[in-house]
Amino acid sequence: MSSFQTRQGSLKIVDAAKVAARGSIFVAEARLRTMMKWIWLIISLAIANPVLYLVSIGLGVGAYIDKNTGGMGVDGVSYITFLAPALLATAAIQGAIDESVFPTLEGFKWNKIFYSMNATPLSGNHIATGVFLNSLIRVTFTAIIYWLVMLAFGVLESPRAWLAIFTAIMAGAAFGALMQALAGMLENEDIFFTVLQRFVIMPLFLFSGTFYPLTNMPIYLQWIGWISPLWHATELGRWLSYGHEISTLMLYTHFIFLNSLLLIGIIASRRIFTRRLGK
């Protein structure tokens, strides 16, 4: 049977127009089904991480800080209240990394499933967008669970604090899209995870105003926070959670920065996926 006949036969089984319209959703569904194999681990981590961090650092270290500041804490609130929005954004970013970097390396390097997908009417754009959508689902789930734990700890002082869920999701989506694009370019991941953890994740975690205001750092280190989606999301989260003071200009800056990173990451990952699958 000729390849043309085989192709025509497959088109009778697969609705190419439907795939073109919903291909990204199909890819996201496939990734979600894979993710469900680890659902109890994901749920356990989503609950354990905020509890352990808030108890050990928020309450443990926080009690010492609150005591030595005359009960004023940091930024006019208890230390745990100050810390919680930063941990919320951090959790969203970590969830985005897990569901964007590993699936991308798996699809291109470990089991090469992206090439099998691309042999169907699914395009590189479909695959890139589908992986991103699944990452967004993980980020949303993680952010909601983390926020509920924060609510249980009584660290949300504003009626609009629930909106901090969305600013955390914005940070996770922006960083995840960028990491997905980067992972899509990797030909050899031998030292990638070491570099990512030590020279990207750790500096962002330590120098993005997570544990203390960014202005407390030397000016020559503050630039790390300025380019960090974690800092921008943390500032928004603190503004929403307890009324941290932010100028109107900075509010726009935070939102524009996060959405710009998101747009850049999505466009870059779609182009990188399409180019790599076309080789």
**Closest by alpha carbon to 23, among 154, 132, 184, 143?**
132
Q: How far is CA 237 from the centre of its chain?
A: 15
4, part of any domain: no
In a domain, 52, yes or no: yes
Count of other CB atoms within 10 angstroms of residue 123: 20
Q: Does some domain include residue 103?
A: yes
Q: What is the mean pLDDT of residues 4-26?
A: 63
Higher pLDDT, 145 or 65: 145
Residue 201: pLDDT band with limits 50, 70, 90: confident
pTM of the model: 0.88
Q: What is the pLDDT of residue 55?
A: 87
In this structure, is residue 9 part of a structural domain? Answer: no
Tell me the pLDDT band of 71, cut-offs 50, 70 and 90. low
Tell me the average pLDDT across 161-174.
95
Give a yes or no: residue 10 inside a domain: no
Higher pLDDT, 217 or 10: 217
Residue 166 lies in a domain: yes
Structure tokens given for 48: 């354990």
pLDDT in tens, 208-252: 988 889 988 888 889 988 999 999 999 999 999 999 999 999 999
Average pLDDT over residues 242-271: 95
* Structural domain contains residue 5: no
Confidence (pLDDT) at 15? 63
Dist. CA 17–CA 11, nearest whole Å: 10
Residue 153 lies in a domain: yes
Are 164 and 237 in contact, with CB atoms under 8 Å apart?
Answer: yes
The Cα–Cα gap between 97 and 10 comes to: 36
Mean pLDDT across the stretch 159-168? 94
Query: In this predicted structure, what is the pLDDT of residue 18?
Result: 66
- How many domains does the chain fold into? 1
* Amino acid, res. 260: S
Q: Is the pLDDT of residue 128 over 60?
A: yes
Host domain of residue 257: 16-277
Mean pLDDT of 38-67: 85
pLDDT value of residue 27: 93
Q: What is the per-residue pLDDT for 14?
A: 61
